[in-house]
Amino acid sequence: MEQLSGIDASFLYFEGPTLPMHTLKVALFELEGDLDWAGIRNGIERHLDALEPFRRRLVEIPLGLGHPVWIEDPDFDLDWHLHRCRVEAPGGARELDAVVSRIAARPLDRSRPLWEITLVEGLEAGRVAFVAKIHHSIADGARTLELLRALMHWNGAVGTPWCPERVPERGVLLRLAARSFFRELAALPALVVRTIRGLVAMVRRAKRSAVQQPAPFSGPIAPMNHSLGVGRRFATARLPLDTVLQLKRSAGVTVNDVLLCVCGGALRRYLEERDVLPMRPLIVGVPVDTRDGAHALPGANHVGHIMGTLGTDEADPIKRLHTIANVMREAKARHDALGPDLLERWVQFAPPRLYSGVIRAFAWLRLAEHIPPPINLVVSNVAGPREVLELEGSRLVGLYSVGPILEGIGLNITSWSYAGDLYFGLLSDDRGDLEPGRVAALLGVELTALTRAAGLDAPASESPITAPVSEPGVGPETPA
């Protein structure tokens, strides 16, 4: 039995009927021979010792007096978590994106371990896809990468042998919650001192800086900023990593700066096409890893957020890139001055019932229609495997990922690098006017424009299976 950290539990408190808080991983494989589904299923079963999050389920603390706990599921049934579906052959990006959209819309069952994997067959060129849905309380990007490597390497090291646990009794859970409360209470004075020092350092840094940081709620209202519907729209794109690295070196910026510039340019083009480009630039939330080793709390998620600009008010891609780089550099410096894990520490004190109630009321009252969003969208960048991965002799040829969307923040763009390419997953809901497929298509257009503006060679085109297309949203009631 292990109690969730506040940051892990917060992803449960955020969840509601229109707000499932899982992440998606889409792994595209090129088969060598026939698919051995039974062999894959048995391989997962044999290596559950090394896949701890896949075995554990939630138990709530009575009366919401503390964060929930994980236990080894006494009723674990692997087949509950494994599914298969087939698209009409030969299926391409449109058909695969439609399946992922349906999977994304359905929340996970909290009475069981919070994950599932769906095999999608019938894709062109003899390919198959595995769509993994994993709740954010289980893993952030870095932890998911660890799980991916464990899944890919059947012959690697395994963990401690596991066995099911009994569901803890009410008294045990209450005593655990009481010990946790007093432990956190004892740490509160030191946290207050850290917070004051961090705020002073951040304010001093801001006063010395010539770079203007965007403030929360200061961005425009854009098509992705609304109350969410229950359906989801998913789209993908693939861009060459070498081109991004050339731009990084040429401009003296980071890979993340280049990606934000490409996303900003694609969204600028999209909004111009629809004659709704706002005068103020879109504000982006960028997740950052807070695993600093010195203060890291136990838990699956060690993530903070910094705010930056996407420069959508700037037509010149080179000027936009340097504006983004300057703002992000300053945002990281202020985040470090405040304390990278400070938010993670304070979330430990979040009261579960109150937290969940506020989030659900915000969604039910559709307050996102009346209150400006703190940010316009989330853009995340994860450094994935550099080497080519294989599963039972089949080669992994594409790896897409995307995180959840939030009330009023209805677009998530996530990039994972893998074996020399950048794989983008885009997620929105089906209620707004945003078409993630069109935005995905414009990512490649914008990378080409940025590359030419920098005087570099234009990137090569994409392969058919990964070419981005627009796909209507589909709701959770449609079976995958």
> Which residues does the annotation mark as catalytic?
136
How many angstroms separate the CA atoms of 154 and 157, rounded?
8
Does 351 sit behind a cis peptide bond, omega within 30 degrees of 0 on the bond before it?
Answer: no
Q: Burial, 222: exposed, middle or buried (Cβ in 10 Å; 0-12, 13-18, 19+)?
A: buried
What does DSSP say about strands 283-289 and 377-382: parallel, antiparallel, or unpaired? parallel
How many angstroms separate the CA atoms of 288 and 30, rounded?
32
Long-range contacts of 123-126 (CB under 8 A, 24+ apart): 123/28, 123/87, 123/89, 123/90, 123/91, 123/92, 123/95, 123/96, 123/465, 124/89, 124/90, 124/91, 124/92, 124/464, 124/465, 125/30, 125/90, 125/465, 126/30, 126/31
Closest CA to 448 of 199, 272, 261, 212: 261
HSE value, Cβ hemisphere, 13 Å, CA-based, for 106: 18
- The answer to whether 267 and 439 have CB atoms below 8 angstroms apart is yes
- φ and ψ at residue 379, rounded to 5 degrees: -125, 125
Q: Burial, 354: exposed, middle or buried (Cβ in 10 Å; 0-12, 13-18, 19+)?
A: exposed
